[in-house]
Amino acid sequence: MSQKTLTDDTSTGAVEAPASSSSKRWWILAVIALAQLMVVLDATIVNIALPSAQADLGFSDGNRQWIVTAYALSFASLLLLGGRIADLFGRKTAFLVGVVGFAAVSALGGAATGFGMLVTARALQGAFGALLAPAALSLLNTTFTDARERARAFSVYGAIAGAGGAVGLLLGGVLTDAFDWRWTLYVNVLIAVVAFVGGWLLLTNHRDDTSARLDVPGTVLVAAGLFSLVYGFSNAETHDWGSALTWGFLIAGGVLLAAFAWWQTKAAHPLLPLRILLDRNRAASFLAVLISAGGMFGVFLFLTYYLQLNLGFSPTKTGVAFLPMVGALMVAAQLGTTVLLPRIGPKVAVPLGFAVAAAGMAWLTGIGVGSSYVSAVLPQLIVTGFGLGLVMPAAMQLATGGVAAEDAGVASATVNAMQQVGGSIGTALLNTLAASAATDYLAGKDATSKLVQAQATIESYTTAFWWSAGMFAAGAVIAFLLFRRGVPEQDPDAAPVVHM
C-alpha cells in the first residue's frame, strides 16, 4: 500500500529522473559510502601506526593521545557548522570541497616532519571531515526516496559507519607492516580521487532556502561547548578527575551547550532547529548513536591492546581478528533495517540490539593472560557485532528520516556529532576507568613481577568491557522507554519533500 504511494510520489515529484536513475542511485551510494569510509577509517587507522610514528618523530607518551584526540576534537566541534554549510551552499559543493580538503591535509600529515605538523594535519582532517560527513549523509537521505530502497541504503551506510573502525585497524596494520606508518594517511588521497570523480559526475547540487543566514553566535557556542566537553574528557586520561583542567572544561562545556540550546529558541536562522530534537523517535535515535559509539570504543581500543600485547598478534593479524565482527555487523544491518524495523518497529529492534551487544561485552570479560582467540574472543566479537548491527543503521535511518529537506544536512550532522562525541567520551572514560582498575589491582602486590603486570592489564581490559556492557544495557533501557510503539511511518511521508 505504502509502496504504491511512494511510486506515485516519485512519478509526480521527480519527473526529470530518467529510467536509469535507479542504477545511478546505487552508484551514488557507492561514492557516498567510500567517502564516509575514509572519514570513519581515520578515527582508528592511525592508532595501530602510532608506535611507529612515535619512534620516527620522537614525541612523548603524553603527547601520543593528541594524534587521535585532535581529529575527534575538531570533527565533533565543527559538525553542526558543516551540516549547515551543506544546507546553505549546496550538498554537492560541500561534499567535493570536503573530499579535496581531506585528501590535501592527509598528504600533509603523511609528510609530517614533527609532532606539531602531524597534530595540525589531524585537526584539519577533522575539520574537513566535519564538512564532508553531514553532506554525505544528507545526500543519501535525499537520493533515496523509496522507503524500501532507503532502508537498504542506510543498512549499507550504517554498516560502514559501524565497521569502519575495525576496517581502519586492519588497513592500518597492513599499511604499517607492508610500507610505512605514513601510508595510513597517504591512502586517503587514493580514496579521495575515486570519491571526487564519482561525486563530480553523479551528484546534483541543491541549496535550501537561499535567503537563510548562518547562525554565527550559535556556531561559536556549540563549537566551543563540544570542544570543551571532549577536551575535558580527554584530559581525564592524562590528569585525574579532580584536576581543574578536567572538571573545569566539562562544566564550561555544559554551560556553553545550555546557552546554545537557549539561543536556538531565539535565533532567526538557528543552526540546530529544536524541532529536529522534539520528535521522540529522532531524539531516541540520537541517544542510541551516542551510546553505541561510546561503548564500541571499548571493543576496538582495549581489544587491540590485548591482541597485540598479550596474545602477540601483529598489527595486520589484529586487524584480521576484527573482521568476523564486521561480517556479523553487516548481516545484522541488513536484517535490522530491511526486515525487523519495518515489521516490529524500533521500540523492539533497537533495545534488542543493545541487549545482544551488552551480552557479548559481558561474555568478553572472561579473557585471561593465556586465553585463546578462537574460544575467548571470536564468538564474543560476533555476538557484539551482531547487536551493534541492529542498533546503528536503524538509529541513523530514524534520526535523519522524515526531516524537512532544508534540515537534512543539520540532522545528518547531529548524527555524526553524536557518534564522534560518544566515541571521544567513551575513549576517555574507559581509559580512565581501566587505568584505575590496573592501579588498584597492583596495590599491595609485587609490581615487578611480569605475571602480576600481565594480570593487571587483563584487569584493566575487563573493567573497560564491563563498563561497555553497562553502557549498552543502559542503551537498551533508554531506547525501550523513548521509542514510540509501532512501525515508523516517516519514510513514506518524507518522500514528497525531497527536491533532487
Give me the residue spans of the domains in the chain. Answer: 24-205+271-484, 215-270
How many other C-beta atoms are found inside a 10 Å radius of the C-beta of residue 438?
18
In the chain, the amino acid numbered 125 is: Q
Identify the CATH assignment for 24-205+271-484 out of 1.10.10.10, 1.25.40.20, 1.20.1250.20, 3.40.710.10. Answer: 1.20.1250.20
Over residues 154-182, the pLDDT tens digits come to 777 777 766 676 677 778 888 888 888 89
pLDDT band for position 82 (cuts 50, 70, 90):
confident
- What lies within 8 Å, CB to CB, of 360 at 6+ separation is 380, 381, 382, 383, 384, 385, 386, 387
User: How far is it, in rounded angstroms, from Cα 114 to Cα 118?
Assistant: 6
Q: What is the structure's pLDDT at 303?
A: 86
- What lies within 8 Å, CB to CB, of 233 at 6+ separation is 246, 250, 424, 425, 428, 429
Average confidence (pLDDT) over 418-447: 79
Q: What is the structure's pLDDT at 232?
A: 82
pLDDT band for position 379 (cuts 50, 70, 90):
very high
3-state helix, strand, coil in the chain (%, to 5): 80, 0, 20
Averaged pLDDT of the chain: 80
Give CA separation, 449 vs 11, 417, 441, 443, 453, in Å: 73, 43, 13, 13, 6
User: How far is it, in rounded angstroms, from Cα 196 to Cα 96?
Assistant: 6
Of residues 365 and 490, more confidence is placed in 365
C-alpha torsion sign, points 298, 301, 306, 307: positive
Indicate if the pLDDT at residue 70 is higher than 50. Answer: yes
User: How far is it, in rounded angstroms, from Cα 133 to Cα 10?
Assistant: 26
Residue written as grid cell 554565527: 216
User: How far is it, in rounded angstroms, from Cα 318 to Cα 187?
Assistant: 19
Indicate if the pLDDT at residue 15 is higher than 70. Answer: no
Over residues 237-280, the pLDDT tens digits come to 667 778 888 889 999 999 999 999 899 888 877 877 788 887 88
Indicate if the pLDDT at residue 311 is higher than 90. Answer: no
Closest CA to 92 of 138, 47, 43: 138
Over residues 49-63, the pLDDT tens digits come to 777 788 888 876 657
